[in-house]
């Protein structure tokens, strides 16, 4: 396939995993008795930041807070569309304090932040996909939050129900390739949601369970380059066949907490896609 995919420069917000640990279990990946190598996590995270910058993207950082081991998962803090920030209200009490430092960062940057009334976990379950927002529910973000999001942004919200606890956030089961297409693992979704996705994206990249379990769908795409888990080899092959350029980045230390590349990456969309 000719090299016709065009990358778009992005602005990302990340948080250094200085205090990263698995201190509680709120998803099937988390085992508090399994130690985390913080030095390895820091090295992997820095490699991700360096890779983004090497591909022309802007990366901002929010200061980590002691006692918030999951704060590294910046995607869960908010969803930003056209410079408008819809904040978070975490499902787990352990994570709710994370909203405060992220809100402070956005306000310091001149953004106004909307406080959701319903449980909502940012880009973990909400992602702009061209003319609409794809929204996950079933384990974390509620359908009531989906309605809040639609009212706030004025964009159609497509609700998708997640059914497999290993894929507890939408961003573990699906990622947006560009304004017109996505990659996803069908069995992570309810039958009706699978039908919706098949209708919306008849040419979607379909991942295997093996690639999904390797956090292959917790990826970030700039429209050409796809920053993807090196363990998702079949998915990377499919992407290359479609004209995308897979960029493997190893964040395996973060898999111990149920996170990967996208979980560590908040996208700040300041202009219309």
Q: State pLDDT tens for residues 177-188.
A: 999 999 999 999
What is the C-alpha to C-alpha distance for residues 225 and 201, in angstroms, rounded to an integer?
20
Assess whether 225 carries a catalytic annotation. Answer: no
List 15, 120, 263, 264, catalytic entry: 263
Residue 258, pLDDT score: 98
- Reported in sequence order, the residue ranges of the chain that DSSP labels E, i.e. its strands, are 11-15, 58-62, 79-81, 84-86, 113-114, 126-129, 132-137, 157-161, 174-178, 181-184, 205-206, 220-221, 225-228, 245-248, 266-267
Residue 136, pLDDT score: 98
List 169, 225, 255, 264, catalytic entry: 169
Residues 6 or more apart whose CB falls under 8 angstroms from that of 37 comprise 253
Residue 4, pLDDT score: 78
Residues 6 or more apart whose CB falls under 8 angstroms from that of 188 comprise 162, 163, 164, 167, 172, 173, 174, 212
Coil vs helix vs strand at 166: helix
Residues 6 or more apart whose CB falls under 8 angstroms from that of 90 comprise 76, 96, 98, 99, 119, 121, 140
**What's the chain's average pLDDT?**
97
Eight-state DSSP code of residue 52: H
Q: State pLDDT tens for residues 162-215.
A: 999 999 999 999 999 999 999 999 999 999 999 999 999 999 999 999 999 999
Q: Evaluate if residue 1 carries a pLDDT over 50.
A: no
Which among 59, 6, 56 has a CA at the least distance from the CA of 178?
6
Assess whether 169 carries a catalytic annotation. Answer: yes
What is the C-alpha to C-alpha distance for residues 182 and 161, in angstroms, rounded to an integer?
16
Three-point CA angle 122, 219, 85, nearest 5°: 25
Q: State pLDDT tens for residues 241-268.
A: 999 999 999 999 999 999 999 999 999 9
Is there a contact between 217 and 185 (Cβ–Cβ < 8 Å)?
A: yes
Give the distance from CA 13 to its chain's centroid.
Answer: 12
Identify the residue with better confidence: 1 or 171.
171
Q: State pLDDT tens for residues 110-152.
A: 999 999 999 999 999 999 999 999 999 999 999 999 999 999 9
């Amino acid at each position: 396939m000719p090299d016709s995919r065009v990358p778009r420069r992005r602005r990302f917000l990340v948080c250094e995993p200085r205090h990263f640990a698995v201190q509680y279990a709120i998803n099937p990946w988390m085992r508090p008795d399994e130690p985390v190598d913080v030095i390895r996590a820091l090295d992997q995270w820095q490699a991700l930041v360096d890779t983004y910058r090497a591909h022309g993207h802007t990366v901002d950082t929010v200061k980590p807070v002691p006692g918030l081991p999951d704060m590294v998962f910046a995607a869960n803090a908010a969803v930003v569309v056209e410079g408008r920030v819809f904040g978070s209200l975490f499902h787990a009490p352990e994570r709710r304090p994370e909203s405060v430092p992220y809100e402070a960062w956005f306000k310091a940057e001149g953004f106004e932040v909307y406080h959701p009334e319903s449980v909502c976990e940012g880009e973990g379950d909400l992602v702009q996909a061209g003319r609409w927002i794809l929204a996950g529910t079933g384990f974390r973000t509620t359908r009531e939050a989906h309605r809040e999001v639609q009212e706030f942004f004025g964009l159609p919200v497509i609700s998708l129900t997640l059914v497999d606890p290993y894929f507890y956030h939408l961003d573990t089961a699906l990622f947006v390739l560009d304004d017109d297409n996505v990659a996803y693992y069908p069995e992570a979704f309810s039958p009706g949601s699978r039908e919706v996705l098949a209708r919306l994206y008849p040419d979607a990249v379909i991942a295997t369970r093996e690639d999904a379990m390797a956090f292959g769908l917790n990826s970030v795409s700039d429209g050409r380059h796809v920053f993807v888990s090196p363990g998702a080899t079949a998915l990377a092959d499919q992407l290359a066949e479609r004209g995308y350029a897979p960029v493997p980045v190893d964040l395996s230390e973060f898999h111990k907490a149920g996170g990967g590349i996208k979980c560590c990456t908040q996208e700040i969309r300041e202009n219309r896609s």
